[in-house]
Structure 1
Amino acid sequence: MLASWLWLSNTGTLPRQGVSGETLSMFSGEGDDVSLPCNNVVYPNCSSTTWNYNRNGSTGTIQEITLGEIKVDQTERAERLSLGSDCSLHVSDVRAEDVGLYICQQFLTETGPKHGGDAPVHLSVLTISSTTPVTDLKPNVNMTLRCSLLTDTQHGTCRSRFSLSWVPNPGTNAQDTQDSSCDITLTVTLQKKDNNRKWTCTLTEEGNVKISIDFTSTFSDIEEKTTDSDDVISTVPGTSNAVKLPISHIMLFVALTIMATIVTIHTRRNRPPKALPPQAGESNRHWSSSI
């Protein structure tokens, strides 16, 4: 990286002045990927770019990218970070712990002073979770979902122009509670039709959708109380449980049985007759003549 900087300097190419501006707000859903832009890049090969991170609720700053190279001690987090071709910071599989203030800075040398201004980016993360265990989800069970926007201030706190809502309207059997503008709860009595249904929480800014996140209610165990038109219930002798067989399987079994019967009849008709045993009278006559 340093060699590239020296080459540019020797050719007389002057680095362009870094541009600083207001803090840029970025939003990501938990589990998604996000790219944080850097608008003060000096060298296009990112050899002058450094990314600092102020973790949520922390007063300290962590330097994660130094002169274009990842400098993170934690292996798991380092694997989720990468630098884009435009020197943007790419975070994959976003988590609640990624919330915070990211600052892109430029340094012309490893030990030299900062060049130009900062390019700060604030990342907020939208989360959705069920307080009802997913293994308990089934018809007639109350499911409670909580949707929150995590910011660097505190849980569910955001500026007044932002708001969360459930889209579309969950229905009349649901109760929507708004703990704050960016922390809402939904309680709904699940119906059989809600299996594999998506419940969507949407973040809007003055009516404009910024980001959405989904939760799918998948039932772990469904009791079948009715049969479909293409299924029948057949009971296996000696058992107390009904076996559900598709009618197509039964029709195939019947057809094979009929075919086997036809083949058996046809084989018997074409089989040559067996030789008859000699009659008792004929045996006696032969014996008499011998005498």
Structure 2
Amino acid sequence: MADIHHSFLGLLVTVLYLLTGVSGETLSMFSRVGDDVSLPCNNVVYPNCSSTVWNYNRAGSTVTIEVVALGKIKDDKTERLSLGSDCSLHVSNVRAEDAGRYTCQQFLTETGSQHGGDAPVDLSVLTISSTTPVTDLTPDADMTLRCSLFSFMGHGTQCISGVSLSWVLNETGTEPQKYSGSQDPQHSSCDITLTVTLQKKDNNRKWTCTLTEKGNVKISIDFTSTFSGTSNAVKLPISHIMLFVALTIMAAIVTIHTSRRSRPPKALPPQAGESHRHWSS
């Protein structure tokens, strides 16, 4: 009877596993620095994730790091990692070093062998930065921006086939003054720069780098050029300032008037006749 029970359980697990479908293909996902991302697990066996293991491989490294063991986040990884109800791996506040290959695997028992194949997900992280110190951003100064994609293939290497980075056209519809990076999706660099000579109108302006995959925009990232020494304080209309001053003066007058009325009256000096009568008695 026990053998029948175990056989039925094994058959049920196998059917559930087949119904989930395992493609074996690597899923590519893109994220910006600072965003949150959820990496799907396409080979889940137990819906409570007790069979799920997530491994991580950084670009250029042969070391495999286990971040989830049978549904539990490793203690040293709990700060920004969590497991979704569908066993997806949620990464919050994504950093450039999070780029790499994440592999979801299934183990029916703690000491048993792997059940089924891998479900790998490649996470690429898009970053943008200014190689010019932000304190040096002023009108007529040159600003150089760098847009990079960190991926399982590494940083600064040729992009994955079909993926390209490019700078968005400016308001006038013309190309930026100086830029680097091929527009050919088959031979595109995933590390491009943009150099512009700033003008007064460029204060608090956004510069956008876009990632395209097979002709479709997947994600973009912005950098805002803010000139040093400028104040972001809100400027109030003169009428509002005059009203504020008037209200302040009125409040001061009311306070003074109220304080005077609340003072006790001064005692009057005794009359001369009253003093004489008091002396005669």
Q: TM-score range by the shorter chain?
A: 0.7 to 0.9
8 Å Cα contact 1:160-1:181 kept in structure 2: no
8 Å Cα contact 2:169-2:175 kept in structure 1: no
Q: Secondary structure at the match of 1:215?
A: strand
In structure 2, what is the equivalent of residue 184 of structure 1?
192
Measured after TM superposition, the shift of residue 9 of structure 1 is 6.9
Measured after TM superposition, the shift of residue 153 of structure 1 is 2.1
In structure 2, what is the equivalent of residue 212 of structure 1?
220
How far apart, CA to CA, are the structure 2 residues paired with 1:220 and 1:204? 33
How far apart, CA to CA, are the structure 2 residues paired with 1:109 and 1:253? 75
Measured after TM superposition, the shift of residue 97 of structure 1 is 0.7
* C-alpha distance 46-248 of structure 1, shift in aligned 2 (>3 A): closer
Which amino acid in structure 1 is aligned with residue 228 of structure 2? Answer: S
In structure 2, what is the equivalent of residue 288 of structure 1?
none
1:1-291 correspondence to structure 2 within 5 Å: 12=9, 14-15=12-13, 16-17=16-17, 19-73=22-76, 77-156=77-156, 157-169=158-170, 171=174, 174-178=177-181, 180-222=188-230, 246=238, 249=241
Query: Could you state the TM-score of these two structures normalised by the residue count of structure 2?
Result: 0.72
Cα RMSD for the two superposed structures: 2.9
Q: Secondary structure at the match of 2:129?
A: strand
The structure with more strand, counted as a fraction of residues? 1
* C-alpha distance 252-196 of structure 1, shift in aligned 2 (>3 A): closer
In structure 2, what is the equivalent of residue 277 of structure 1?
none
Measured after TM superposition, the shift of residue 60 of structure 1 is 0.8
8 Å Cα contact 1:49-1:106 kept in structure 2: yes
The structure with more helix, counted as a fraction of residues? 2
- 1:135-190 CA distances to partner (integer Å, 9 max, x unpaired)? 22221211110001112222232124211111133756621122753221111111
In structure 1, what is the equivalent of residue 256 of structure 2?
none
Sequence identity (%): 68
Q: Secondary structure at the match of 1:17?
A: helix
* C-alpha distance 248-207 of structure 1, shift in aligned 2 (>3 A): same
* C-alpha distance 205-249 of structure 1, shift in aligned 2 (>3 A): closer
How far apart, CA to CA, are the structure 1 residues paired with 2:115 and 2:151? 29
8 Å Cα contact 2:176-2:194 kept in structure 1: no
How far apart, CA to CA, are the structure 2 residues paired with 1:125 and 1:252? 49
Which amino acid in structure 1 is aligned with residue 193 of structure 2? Answer: T
8 Å Cα contact 2:169-2:176 kept in structure 1: no
In structure 1, what is the equivalent of residue 271 of structure 2?
none
Measured after TM superposition, the shift of residue 252 of structure 1 is 8.1
Measured after TM superposition, the shift of residue 248 of structure 1 is 5.8
Q: Secondary structure at the match of 1:103?
A: strand
Measured after TM superposition, the shift of residue 119 of structure 1 is 0.2
- 1:109-156 CA distances to partner (integer Å, 9 max, x unpaired)? 111111111100111111101001112222121111000111222223
Deviates more, 1:179-188 or 1:39-48: 179-188
* C-alpha distance 195-111 of structure 1, shift in aligned 2 (>3 A): same
Query: Could you state the TM-score of these two structures normalised by the residue count of structure 1?
Result: 0.70
How far apart, CA to CA, are the structure 1 residues paired with 2:73 and 2:140? 50
| Number of residue pairs matched by the alignment | 228
* C-alpha distance 160-118 of structure 1, shift in aligned 2 (>3 A): closer
8 Å Cα contact 2:203-2:225 kept in structure 1: yes
How far apart, CA to CA, are the structure 2 residues paired with 1:253 and 1:82? 54
Q: Secondary structure at the match of 2:118?
A: strand
How far apart, CA to CA, are the structure 1 residues paired with 2:176 and 2:159? 29
8 Å Cα contact 1:162-1:181 kept in structure 2: no
